[in-house]
Homo-oligomer: A and B are copies of this chain.
Amino acid sequence: MSVSVQLEDFDVGAEITALSAGRTDIGAVVTFTGLVRSTAGGQDISDMELEHYPGMTEKSLAKIEAEASTRWSLQASRIIHRYGKLLPGAKIVMVATASPHRGDAFESAEFIMDYLKSRAPFWKKEGTAGGGKWVDARDADEEALDRWD
C-alpha cells in the first residue's frame, strides 16, 4: 500500500513490476490510468491545471487505500496522482491493485477510483480559448459511491 502525489509522470509497467517484485502469490493485477482529454463538453482543452491540498491529499488517498484493503483480499496497491499543469494525452492518475483473484483486483480498483473522484481534494481547471475554467463536480461521480455502501 503506497500513495504518491507528484508533478512527475509515471510508468505503469514499472509500477506493476514493483508491486509484484519477488513474490509469486499474486494472481491478478488491475490498473486504472486516467488521461487528460483534448475536449470536454464539445470544447477544446489546451491544458489542465490540477490543484490539491497538500497533507490532506495524501491522508485521504491512504485512507481510501486502507478501506479497500479491509473490503477485499488485497496483496498490494498503489495510487499515484499528479498535480500541476498537464497537456492533453498526459497521465493524471494511476491506481493499481493486486490480489490472488481477479474479481477482488477489479472491484477494489473501481472502488478506489470512485472514492478518489469524490473524496480526494483535487481540483481541475481546464484551459480553453475563453480562459481557465474550473471543472464542475459530476452528480454521476457522487452517485457512483452508492453501490459501495
Contacts and interface: CB of A to CB of B under 8 A. Distances in A.
Contacts of A113: 102
Interface stretch (A9-17, A50-58, A62-70, A121-129): A9-17
Interface residues of A, number: 35
Contacts of A77: none
A34 interface: yes
Interface string A16-37: 1000100111111111111111
Nearest to A10: B13
Q: Considering residues A31, A33, A37, A106, which has the most beta carbons from chain B within 10 angstroms of its beta carbon?
A: A33
Interface of A: 11-16, 20, 23-39, 88-89, 100, 102-103, 105-106, 109-110, 113, 144
